[in-house]
């Protein structure tokens, strides 16, 4: 099944995080190989996440912030 730009952009982070099955990721990979615009967005998102990951190892958030974030994530998961 072909993948258009809107679907590609919508599913990029799932693709980057390896959350798509091979059959769901294959059309997206093909689209990225053919679409310069979407590939650029993919490259920027991937670079952003890599930088964020490196920064996350360099510092820690204050405990109250971590508690608030965890509480919101838990609340979102329950809904």
**Ordered DSSP codes for the chain:** ----HHHHHHHHHHHHTT-S-HHHHHHHHHHHHH-HHHHHHHHHHHHHHHHHHHHHHH----HHHHHHHHHHHHHHHH-
Q: pTM for this structure?
A: 0.65
CA distances, 36 to each of 11, 41, 51 (Å): 16, 9, 22
What is the pLDDT at residue 58?
62
Per residue in 9-66, pLDDT tens? Answer: 999 989 999 999 999 999 999 999 999 999 999 999 999 888 888 776 666 778 899 8
CB contact at 8 A, 8 and 34: no
Residue-level pLDDT at 57: 67
Show the domain range for 48. Answer: 5-78
| Separation of alpha carbons 4 and 47, rounded Å | 22
pLDDT at 41: 94
Number of domains in the chain: 1
């Amino acid at each position: 099944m072909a993948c258009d730009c809107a679907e590609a952009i919508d599913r990029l982070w799932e693709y980057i995080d390896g959350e798509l099955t091979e059959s769901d990721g294959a059309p997206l990979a093909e689209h990225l190989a053919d679409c310069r615009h979407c590939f650029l967005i993919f490259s920027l998102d991937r670079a952003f996440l890599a930088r964020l990951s490196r920064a996350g190892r360099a510092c820690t958030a204050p405990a109250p912030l971590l508690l608030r974030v965890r509480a919101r994530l838990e609340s979102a998961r329950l809904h």
